[in-house]
Amino acid sequence: MGLSPRPESGLVAQQHGDEPWITTRLDLLVNWSRAKSLWPMPFGTACCAIEYMASAASKFDLARFGMERQSFSPRQADVLICAGRVPFKLAPVIRRIWQQMPQPKWSISMGACASTGGMFDNYAVVQGIDSIIPVDVYVPGCPPRPEGLIYGIMMLHEKIMRERSADTALRAEMEPDPRSQLYIPPPVIDEISEPFGNSVHQQRSGL
């Protein structure tokens, strides 16, 4: 014997006559419905895309998290999952796809390369897609295990549940500088993509 289960916070169902009814905050209802049926748009480029496929396949089954429908069109997607490295040649593509997605939209940067450039600190790779599009959740790993990706998705659920519809800034479209197309000032980009740690020593050829 124990206590009867507590009602879920914020959601109280009461029996009033024959009509069941619920009181809740509107935000909670909206956020709940958004979070529990996120349609992902997999922007798979490299190794992480294989782990993404493994997550979506039979063993890990992303459908358990409301992601049954993989949306391969950005126009019917809620969350952009950038799985894999993004070279400069691909940068305008991911920017374009992000702009094609309707609000509300979120993005997950899956893996070290998408988040920071990873081990590719060279002439070809963007040092983190957050210099191109805004990112909600970073999933570390090279590549992240499916459990890692699922944890990132759960974090995104949590983030969505905390959103307030009164906060209009949440849904504001990113507006890059029309001349440079950057939405972060160039000195900041240069600073955050400086080599650090061991990679400073690995700029030398020969020896």
Which residues here bind other proteins, judged by CB under 8 A? Answer: 43-47, 49-51, 53-54, 57-59, 72, 84-85, 87-93, 95-97, 119-127, 131-132, 142-143, 145, 176, 180-182, 186-187, 189-190, 193, 195, 202-207
Both tokens assigned to 74: 């950005």
Measured from the CB atom, the residue of 102 and 195 that comes closer to other proteins is 195
- In sequence order, what DSSP letters do the residues of 69-127 get, joined into one string? S---SGGG-SEEEEES--BGGGHHHHHHHHHHSPSS-EEEEESHHHHH-TT--SSSB-S
Measured from the CB atom, the residue of 125 and 139 that comes closer to other proteins is 125
Measured from the CB atom, the residue of 14 and 181 that comes closer to other proteins is 181
Q: What is the DSSP letter of 153?
A: H
> Which amino acid is located at 145 in the chain?
R
Q: What is the nearest approach in angstroms of other proteins to the Cβ of residue 199?
A: 10
C-alpha pair distances (Å), 189 with each of 86, 110, 141, 154, 194: 16, 20, 23, 29, 9
Q: What is the nearest approach in angstroms of other proteins to the Cβ of residue 32?
A: 29
Q: Across-strand partners of 12?
A: 23
Q: What is the nearest approach in angstroms of other proteins to the Cβ of residue 167?
A: 28
Q: What is the nearest approach in angstroms of other proteins to the Cβ of residue 58?
A: 4
